[in-house]
Chain A
């Protein structure tokens, strides 16, 4: 199963130019506060992108928006070809179930459930039968190097292992894009480095990854960095799309 999945992603090469995330002039306001001031961003399939910026720069708001957890106040958000603005809540849920994998800073695992059960929850809302969920969960745990921890519960695991379980949960449904919010923020340096290595491996195998971090050194090691400040994209170091970059600058200067 694992090999087959990886092969699927490998042969997805010709479609690598497909844009999986497309933000245009996205504005998000909370009351008087403008969290996003016109962000435009394109992520194509197979990319590994770091989003960096200080606290309050709008990183998390952008992640919520890309993850369809929150709707923009204005602007358009297109995820895996779906225009988020026109979708009902149920359809957004389905979009998340099928296309988006989340990794959180604090793991958010069920303490009473085994690693495999936690990972299987990643397929619960995609309508996969229980037996198939468990099989794929064990398989996903293998992909993050935790085949020996299948029956362990989170309290029996180290921080790094917990984050691996969380990553397995995020990728068990083979999402179009993996969103990671400060995935190394709650880990020591060594564990954090291993998690980053795992994200690279997954990316090499074909998964599109968007990592939010305030760790500049970590970000610098990734192929593309999006720097945010005051709710706008300040710099997109490897953006080949000049238009998007210009949009970002306009948005920042407004």
Chain B
């Protein structure tokens, strides 16, 4: 902007420092107007930074979860589809454990007639959706989960009656702490509660279940077939393990076996948020556009008001381009100021939201840099027309103005 050099010995440029000083001065003397017109830009930038920041914080949170849970868990169920698909064979867990790609496996089997109540006096209809399942192996360990209290169900088939509550099931039953005398009423008998699970993020459908040994489950309609088998496989061979598992569990009808990767479902849930993010970014963009128009408006009015000043500067020897540059810099500063305020607000919103959600704060630098760059572009575009108008103000305005 200040690269032009006069033909004479004395360079007649108004340096960048002087332009900046003029711009700051022009804004400093009209603080109210600056705040109002920078606000539009600030809101736009804040919206975009917050949207991008919150979305990437939530992604970071998901990554943390996936890092903790691992992405090498495969869930085996009977295939989803039309027609009568047979249940998984009762030997499914052992079959899975025999595979070299499988590091660990556990399973659950539904006991269809199982109902769980806090005590015998609760009406039979109030099941709260709680189901009863029996177990093979250590389900929470395979799923990267943990016990909130107590221990896991004794997995031996003839273990005495005992129950472990899923996190949601415990809440539904009103059990918030595990005591030695904590019992629940299952199938007409008191059953000792030996543990309560923390939420299982890779298998949320297990949270409202109560887990019992197979002997007890058999009396509650358990048919001996697992409903789902959870396997932790070699992280390098997840894709191959899918086929291996289907063939190992049902060698004759591998098509009857469905293998899914629950971490994919978590990621997919996050991916659906992306379209929403796009919408919010779009709204932020509209706010920016409106903010830019606001800046242009403010600058047009400023130029109208300052005809005398322009006239004086022209009389003092300012060239048209000096005047144009002065107002352009003022517009850039105005917009940039709004951008900086917007970044601060956006960061604040993101940090507050992420902390409230217990997420790690992740704000991509490109969003901050891009936001500030956008304000510079907006300020420049918004300032072009007013600055050109200012440059066209005739030098005689200083004398004409009263």
User: For the complex, is A18 an interface residue (Cβ under 8 Å from B)?
Assistant: no
Residue numbers in A under 8 Å from B396 (CB-CB): 64, 69-70
Any A CB within 8 A of the CB of B308: yes
User: Is A93 in contact with B25, judged by CB distance below 8 angstroms?
Assistant: no
* B4 vs chain A, min Cβ distance (A): 10
Q: Are B11 and A125 in contact (CB under 8 A)?
A: no
Q: How far is the CA of A252 from the CA of B311 in the complex (A)?
A: 31
CA distance A164 to B356 in the complex (A): 62
Q: Assess the A181–B399 pair: CB atoms within 8 A.
A: yes
Whether, in the assembled complex, A112 has its beta carbon less than 8 Å from a beta carbon of chain B, the answer is yes
User: Which of A6-14, A46-54, A103-111, A219-227 makes up part of the contact surface?
Assistant: A103-111
- Chain B residues 132 to 147 lying within 8 A of chain A, measured CB to CB, are none
- The total of chain A residues at the interface (CB under 8 A) is 31
Which residues in A have their C-beta under 8 angstroms from that of B18? 124, 130
Any A CB within 8 A of the CB of B125: no
Partner of A125, one of B308, B311, B317, B402: B317
Interface centre among B8, B11, B316 (most CB of A within 10 A): B316
**Chain B residues within 8 Å of A122, by CB:** 316
Q: A94-B6, A111-B29, A127-B12 are in contact. Are A121 and B399 (CB under 8 A)?
A: no
B374 near A: Cβ within 8 Å? Answer: no
Interfacial residues of chain B within 271-320, with CB under 8 A of chain A in the complex: 308-309, 311-320
CA distance A176 to B102 in the complex (A): 96
Q: Does B398 contact A (CB under 8 A)?
A: yes
Question: Is A89 part of the contact surface with B, judged by Cβ < 8 Å?
Answer: yes
When A89-B319, A102-B316 are in contact, do A112 and B398 touch as well, CB less than 8 Å? no
Interface residue ranges, B against A (CB under 8 Å): 6, 8, 10-14, 17-18, 25, 28-29, 308-309, 311-322, 394-396, 398-399, 401-402
Please provide the 6 A-B residue pairs with the shortest distance between their CB atoms, ordered closest to farther: A97-B317, A125-B317, A69-B395, A112-B29, A93-B319, A127-B12
Q: What are 24 pairs between A and B in contact, CB < 8 Å?
A: A69-B395, A69-B399, A70-B394, A70-B396, A93-B320, A93-B322, A96-B316, A97-B317, A97-B318, A98-B317, A102-B315, A106-B401, A106-B402, A110-B309, A111-B29, A112-B28, A112-B29, A122-B316, A124-B18, A125-B317, A125-B318, A125-B319, A126-B10, A126-B12
